Structure 1
Amino acid sequence: MLEIGDEAPDFTAPLANGDVESFTLSDRLDEAPLVLAFFPAAFTSTCTTEMCTFRDRMANFEDVGAAVYGVSIDTPFTLNEFRRQNDLNFALVSDTNREIIHDYDVSMDFDSLGVRNVAKRAVFVVDADETVSYAWVSDDPGAEPDYEEVAAAAESARN
């Protein structure tokens, strides 16, 4: 698992921002700190609550100059619809190839449902040096991050 002080794995993936564009982490470091909020699946209850909470608290991140990106294995088209229906004010990264969740070591299975290789609920804050300055990973898909702690970590990463 990635820990504070580790180099954040670089990646390129589709970005759902109303359109579908390409997102490369290393090309976005000028937006740092970057908050990468991994979630298992769009349109599920806890994932919707989590992404809507980030939406509702976006001012906390904007105030410290941080950019928030959700990351899931959903297609960019699904993620754009999820953004639209929930009025999300940040973009979502599509990891349909499951490379990012493997590189960040946040892959999990829902064995009882026969669902494999989805993202654990996790949050990483990446600073301008591409270093992980905050890491939270949960094995409980019903858990949510401490949003105030994430905002404080983003603020610290800015300084």
Structure 2
Amino acid sequence: MPEIGDTAPDFTAPLATGDVESITLSERLEDGAPIVLAFFPGAFTGVCTTEMCTFQDRLASFNDLDASVYGVSRDSPFALNEFREQNGLEFGLISDFNQEIIDDYGIAMDFADLGVYGVAKRSVFVVDADGEIAYSWVSDDPGVEPDYDEVEAAVEDAA
């Protein structure tokens, strides 16, 4: 798992924006602004929906800091587009359908009793313009949300 000060693992993945595009982290960092990667276990679930809607409610604050927010999950980009639409999300959702990003960030978890394996632990990483991890929060409890004020403060420090 990358620690604060480590170079963020780069990736290219499908990005649900209402359409399906592609995102490469290193290319987005060329804009010179911090990026928030908010990993969540699964779309259309209670805590994940609350978390993504809370990021939406706070999106103006992140925009004011020139930061980009992206949700990341194992869901397909098509499911993520529907999730975005149903919840009025204005930021992109990254589909890590093949679990490559989750593995690179070392945050895979299983719900073995449900037969669900390799989803993301609820985690937030703030990546600064230099591509370094400026903030890291990983929860072993999928029912716990991040401290949104702390995330915003980390973005402000990284801006």
Q: Which residue of 2 aligns with 1:113?
A: 114
CA RMSD of aligned residues (A): 0.7
Contact 1:61 / 1:67 at 8 angstroms: preserved in 2? Answer: yes
Q: How many residues align structurally?
A: 158
TM-score w.r.t. length of structure 1: 0.98
Q: Which residue of 1 aligns with 2:155?
A: 154
CA distance, structure 1, for counterparts of residue 93 and residue 106 of structure 2:
19
Q: Which residue of 1 aligns with 2:134?
A: 133
CA drift at 1:31: 5.4
Cα deviation digits, residues 40-80 of structure 1 (max 9, x gap): 00000000000000000111111111100000000000000
CA drift at 1:89: 1.1
Contact 1:31 / 1:66 at 8 angstroms: preserved in 2? Answer: no
Cα deviation digits, residues 104-128 of structure 1 (max 9, x gap): 0110001121110000000000011
Letter in 2 for 1:55: Q
CA drift at 1:32: 2.2
Letter in 2 for 1:115: V
Letter in 1 for 2:90: N
CA distance, structure 1, for counterparts of residue 11 and residue 27 of structure 2:
10
% identical aligned pairs: 70
Letter in 1 for 2:38: A
Specify the SS of the correspondent of 1:40: coil
> Which runs of 5 or more residues in structure 1 are unaligned?
none
Letter in 2 for 1:59: A
- Superposition misfits of 4+ residues, deviation over 6 angstroms: none
TM-score w.r.t. length of structure 2: 0.98
CA distance, structure 1, for counterparts of residue 144 and residue 101 of structure 2:
21
